[in-house]
Amino acid sequence: MKNLQQELLFEKLRYETRRHFLKQCTTGLGMMAMGSLLQSCGSTQQNTSVSNPLSPKMPHFAGKAKSVIYLHMAGAPSQLELFDYKPDLMKLDGQSCPPSFLEGKKFAFIRGVPQMMGPQAQFQQVGKSGAWMSDKMPHLQSVADDISFIKAMYTDQFNHAPAQLLLHTGSARLGRPSTGTWATYGLGSENQNLPGYMVLTSGGKNPDGGKALWGSGFLPSVYQGVQCRNQGEPVLYISDPTGINRDIRKSTIDAITEINKESYEEFHDPETLARISQYEMAFRMQTTVPEVMDITKEPAYIHEMYGTQLGKESFANNCLLARKLVEQGVRFVQLFDWGWDSHGGGSEDTDVANGLTKKCSTVDKAITALIQDLKQRGLLDETLIVWGAEFGRTPMAENREGKAAAFKGRDHHTEAFTVWMAGGGIKGGYSHGETDPVGYVGIKDRTSVFDLQATIMHCLGFNHEEFTYPFQGRNFRLTDTSGKVIQSVLS
Amino acid sequence: MNTNKLLFISSIIIIGGYSVYSFLGEGNKVNYSTEVKPILNKHCIACHGGVKKQGGFSLLFREEALGKTESGKPAIIPGDAKHSEFIIRLTHKDPEERMPLKKEPLKKEEIEILTKWVNEGANWGEHWAFVKPEMPKVPNKGFFAGLLSWFSSKWEKNDIDYFVKNKLDEEGLSPSKQAEKSILLRRVCLDLTGLPPTEKQIQDFLKDDADNAYEKVVDSLLASPQYGERWAGMWLDMARYSDTKGYEKDEGRNIWQYRDYVIKAFNKDLPYNQFIKEQLAGDLLKNPTEEQYIATAFHRNTVNNDEGGTDDEEFRNATMVDRVNTTWEVFQSTTFACVQCHSHPYDPIRHEDYYKSMAFFYNTRDEDIPDDSPYLRQFTKPEDKAKLTDLQHWIKNNVGSAKEQEISHYLTFLEPKIHPHSGDQFINGALADTKYLGIRNGGSVRFKSLPLTGKRQLLVAYGNKTGSPTLMEIRLGSLTGKVLTTIKLDTTRKGGWTNSWDYQLYDLPKMDGRQDWYLTFKNAKVKPDQSTCIIGSFTLLPEFPGRGRADYAEKKKEFLALVSANTENTPVMLDSPKEYARQTHVWERGNWLAKTKVVQPDIPASLGKLPQNAPKNRLGLALWLGSKENPLTARVAVNRFWEQVFGTGLVETLEDFGTQGFTPTNAALLDFLAVKFMDEYQWKPKKLLKEIVMSATYQQDSKANQDLLAKDPMNRLLARGPRVRLSAEQIRDQALLVSGLLSKKMYGKSVMPYQPEGIWNTPYSSMAWKTSENEDQHRRALYTYWRRSTPYPSMITFDGANRDICLARRIRTNTPLQALVTLNDPVYLECAKHLAKKMDKVGGTLDEQISSTYQFTMCKTISEKKLAVLKRLYSTTFQTYQKNRAEAEKLLNICPDDNIKPKNIPDLAAKTLVASTLLNLDEFIMKE
């Protein structure tokens, strides 16, 4: 604790310097960006932001969350079988969809007049808060009181890739920075021996939106997510090549550093000093990354808790990894799981009844464990967890090309879906927003993906409207031109 | 005192007097651009500009600012600040009334400037970049300056230096001496060709004592084929060139010939305005060559969305937006993206101007089709080429050359296609995968308002694998309308899916005007839920010429064979014929579904006028961009070249020359180069680059000292030479070159050098990274296959662009992940091993080997201290490897090599580490 005061002072100083730097270097609004971003202005002093773009920075105000774990269920699970309980929909099961639901609407695959389909799950009220949850996520029920559900989410993209892009970058088109990029750009990272922004995909399969979902867009590429690999080394080129052991690596880095110091003496280029520290950091990263990525040393009860599968690639393993990463100070961790696209076509695995139950069983325990584990370590308060997908699913059964599917499936749905948040800055045991009796559209407190982004930014300490970057003549921000912080879910 | 000295002294008095005069002169009148506009941009325009017009008051255009506000009165009365609300409000006592609202009041000096400006008539000055550049006088280069050089030897080598020196004098700085010869050689080689010099180039240059030794090198570099490769690298980021389409599956796109076009254009020193013309409007030139069509692929580098369920029209419109933004960013450094939704907040560009610009592009044939239609078809098989020549002759001789050209044009593009997504009113059918026509037995679809005048044939691209023919009935006007004809779609060889079509031609009766077509499909053999066939596109064509000739049927068959032939297809720009033309609308708040007023192609009035007689199409736009009347084009281009060489542009914001961009660090120099580029160099980049690299400014030593770092840390004033990190491409190419691995092979399809497993894991895609063979593994980086969703890892780590959208400027970063690439990426280890082998071949003592290797990798002599460090590294690692040969072998196994004698293994392994160290040094990664 003795250093806390000093640290704060230092942070404040750094913040002031930065503000000064912003003011002095501008010729207009937000002109700090681009070329001068990584370099100081009119000063020869080596401040940390010169040599290291990822050094910790202060946000607009003190945010409650220090880091974010974003759990994305790519493909989009059905909210109607998980969190948005609609008994009335059951009564309409098998009936033709009313024309008002279809007029002027476009669906990815539904054609003609589909039939309504009741929830394919049992619901019950759980926890002190009495949240309605289905039996598909039995473990998660135990932490219901830590969660804020957002039930009237909507988006305007009904295809996976554009909807995922919109959710993570604020635009359905390619080219914008992702949420994690904004976060690391604005906050830097707490641990310089690890990348500040890491991405874990189940089974190494990328989501439809591709790397752009953790891409840096028009921000410098240093802020993009580093994808952890499911085969070979955990981060590309992190391991020493065969035949080079740590001692040899140390000798080479020492030699590089010594010679670079010579170069600095000669040219006095601050860039050279930066390079020296980057090589030293790379060397440390080579130890830290494999260490933190190695879950085998975790105690048995932790493995049991998460339901990890050692030696295999699993979402549960990634959840445990996510905990380890935020524990080490990684700013933003994004998990992508796949196989949630419950169209019901082709096989039972993709239906919303048994298929979805099976799918849920691969994540339920791990997600619950993640919340509990963070809590027992006192990290939940400063770690924001977001669970969700790119859109929801229709209350109607899918009838691809006009014919009923062999298995019970639902089409992509933009008008209503559920996202939940927990941890840093978020109230527990709360539910925000409401959909109509069949779960077709939000009727109270509709929440856009921009609102969600604004809330994430708020939890991290940013006013999303002022957190901008000039590009092509516009001050771009994550939330584009809209977004309101969801005040009621804040703790 | 002699006369000359007298003249000199009196001249000082005159110059001094003049500056006092000019100071007072300028002090008398407020300068709008430099004094007023910055205040308005900073404090006022957010609420009173192009986006918001609070109280009905906007400061963007003069007529708006002087107009009536919501109060009914104007806020600015020219000449009368006292009664101008605009000024009164700045000092208003009531905080609810005082401007800027709820913010700190303006500074006293700022208010004084604005007051004075209003009193002087509130005149709008023009932003410097929107005024045509004039040739400035070269400072201090006259007679008197010549006299000054009595006192010192002249530093200046050409006119650039006078401009730079002038600035340095103002700041009390003096230029640095010339860089060491070999360092300069490395610098100029990297700048002009993207590659460091070869050992031979170094030796030759060091031996050459002629006065023009450097100039000879410059000339040979400019003439080398590698020059074009280096500069193409810069251009491809802006052109967002990529080998794939972008979204989701991110499948391949065959567009590499565009990359080759750019290389060739630079190599033949194509005048820049011609370069613009070919890329924006090559297809609209008179008798365009194949190359000129390929040039238009510049704007076919936009991303495509093939995901099932996506709306092609939405993504076509997204493409239009991208083309407008890119055009303005690349050629004008004018930020247009904001004008999509509202008038420019800072620059005099109106909302409507955006759509006038879009109208130049809105009429192209591309519609987000998976096969990238329209494309240029190149017949590659000799038999097809022969067939084509034969057919061309036949039509020319029997019908006439106009018809021949029409048919040849058709065979080159197969346009205008009617794509299934323009169909509607589907009954018992749908767009399969939201792309192709899939109608079931008895089902139907409508195609609205087809232009039928003169159309006598219908070409259908389709697949029918049902085992029995499908009948397609065409009715006019309604499902029960008159049957125009019924055509038989026989079973086909190909399945009918992306690029896998069979083509059939059907005769149509004579028709006129526009009609709705209702197509009904019948094939009793198919199951109820099965499509009768899959249709890719329709094309309405005039009658095949030459009816009545004995061999008519045979030639028509030949024609169909050529339609069906497999060709090399490159996406290009092609406008729709009039009958398919689209109208461009203004989109309310930038929403493509909220179309309002129709607009015609034009450029923003505030930036100029299309040249007289210029067509109102892309060609007209290109002519205006490439004309000397355009205030921006040459400045923007010159600035880009400058930035590539010096690391920072004369205008730092390469992407923005507007009022929000940076002001030039040396405006006179920028204008000087811009005017010279247009007039003297006739827009030829090689001449411009030669002028730049021949300057003393460029040739300066790049060492900094405390004084320079204090006064000019970023080296904006150029009192020293540029020291800049190399680009991603240069870093790779350099490592390959010094280790002797680099292939000089040019052009062709993109290659796949070594890439670790598991990088390409894009969903639903069958594409695989297949490592290229032989020298294709070691081609220059710009030939590397560029997949948008997963670009080549080391390229991205070193700040390469994603190529999703136009990127005018790469931001250079310095990160640990970069260190890991050059330390651990097998490509760099392979280079290190080969460099070690070269080291070995040097012979002599270890000192000699290391020194010599250092010499040709860094282009300079190694210092004692550095040599000692490397020797120590060698001996430590040599000892380790001698004790543990297996480890050494593992290291050397990075690439197979049977020629290493077992006893040499520890030595070569240790040398590999020394070599790897060289490849990681700051001085190697940097241009010095």
For every residue of A164-223, DSSP letters joined together read HHHHHHSSSSTTSPPHHHHHHHHH--S-TTS-SEEEEEGGGPPPTTGGGGG--TTS-GGG
Closest residue by Cα to residue B176 from B677, B701, B692: B701
- Check B821 against A237: CB less than 8 A apart: yes
Predicted local confidence at residue B829, as pLDDT = 96
Distance in angstroms (rounded) separating the CA atoms of residues B390 and B395:
9
Which of B104, B651, B767, B817 to mutate: most A Cβ within 10 Å? B817
Supply the pLDDT for residue A29: 27
Q: Can you give the pTM of this predicted structure?
A: 0.84
Q: What tens digit of pLDDT does each residue of B600-638 get?
A: 999 998 888 998 889 999 999 999 999 999 999 999 999
Interchain pair A28, B660: CB under 8 A = yes
Q: Give the mutation candidate from A49, A248, A253, A481 for the B interface (greatest B CB count, under 10 A).
A: A248
In one letter, which amino acid is B405? Q
In this prediction, residue B547 carries a pLDDT of 92
When scoring A113, A275, A283, A284 by the number of chain B Cβ atoms within 10 A, the one with the most, hence best to mutate, is A275
Of the ranges A291-295, B705-709, B783-787, B900-904, which is most confident?
B783-787
Mean pLDDT for the stretch of residues B316-334: 94
Q: How far is B321 from chain A (nearest CA, A)?
A: 11
pLDDT at B434: 84
DSSP B466: S
pLDDT computed for residue B19 by the predictor: 41
Question: Nearest residue of B to residue A38 by CA position?
Answer: B813
Residues from chain B contacting residue A244 (CB–CB below 8 Å):
891, 913
Chain B contact present for A271, CB below 8 A: yes
pLDDT (tens digit, 9 = 90+) per residue, B719-774? 999 999 999 999 999 999 999 999 999 999 999 999 988 788 777 777 889 999 99
3-state secondary structure of B688: helix
Q: Which of B763, B877, B913 sits opposite A206 (nearest CB)?
A: B763
Rank B3-7, B33-37, B195-199 by mean pLDDT and report only the highest. B195-199
Residue B475 phi, psi dihedral angles, 5° rounding: -115, 150
* Least Cα separation, residue B761 to chain A (angstroms): 6
Q: Kindly report, residue by residue over A134-161, the tens digit of the pLDDT.
A: 999 999 999 999 999 999 999 988 888 8
**Cis peptide before B382, with omega less than 30 degrees from 0?**
no
pLDDT digits (tens, 9 = 90+) for B125-166: 788 898 899 999 999 887 565 566 556 678 999 999 999 999
Report whether pLDDT(A20) > 70: no
Give the pLDDT band of residue A93 (cuts 50, 70, 90). Answer: very high
Contact A204 B761 (CB under 8 A): yes
Extended strands (E) in B349-456: 375-378, 423-432, 436-451
Mean pLDDT for chain A? 85
Q: Is it the case that residue B64 has pLDDT exceeding 90?
A: no
Q: State the Cα–Cα distance between residues B740 and B729, nearest whole angstrom.
A: 17
Give the pLDDT band (50/70/90) at residue B334.
Answer: confident
Given a cut of 50, is residue A374 above it in pLDDT?
yes
Q: How far is B790 from chain A (nearest CA, A)?
A: 7
% of residues, chain B, pLDDT over 70: 95
Which candidate from B660, B796, B866 shows the least CB-CB separation from A29?
B660
Share of chain A above pLDDT 70, in %: 87
User: For A191-238, how does the pLDDT look when each residue is reduced to its tens digit (9 = 90+)?
Assistant: 888 889 999 988 767 788 888 899 888 887 778 888 887 777 888 899
Mean pLDDT, to the nearest integer, of A69-76?
Answer: 96
Tally of CB atoms within 10 A around B879: 12
Categorize the per-residue pLDDT at A397 as very low, low, confident or very high, splitting at 50, 70 and 90: very high
Enter the tokens of residue B86: 């605009």
Question: What per-residue confidence (pLDDT) applies to B149?
Answer: 58
So what's the pLDDT on residue A12? 44
| B349 to chain A: closest CA residue | A473
Rounded CA separation B846/A140 (Å): 66
How far apart are the C-alpha atoms of B778 and B773, rounded to whole Å? 9
Average pLDDT, stretch B469-498?
92
Q: How many residues are listed for chain B in this entry?
A: 928
As a whole number of angstroms, the distance between CA A221 and CA A212 comes to 12
Cα distances from B757 to residues A136, A144, A230, B760, in angstroms, run: 36, 41, 10, 8
Q: Round to whole Å and give the CA distance between B127 and A19.
A: 28
Does the pLDDT value for residue B197 go beyond 90?
yes
Please compute the mean of the pLDDT values over residues A34-53 and round it to a whole number.
37
User: What value does the mean pLDDT take over residues A80-108?
Assistant: 90
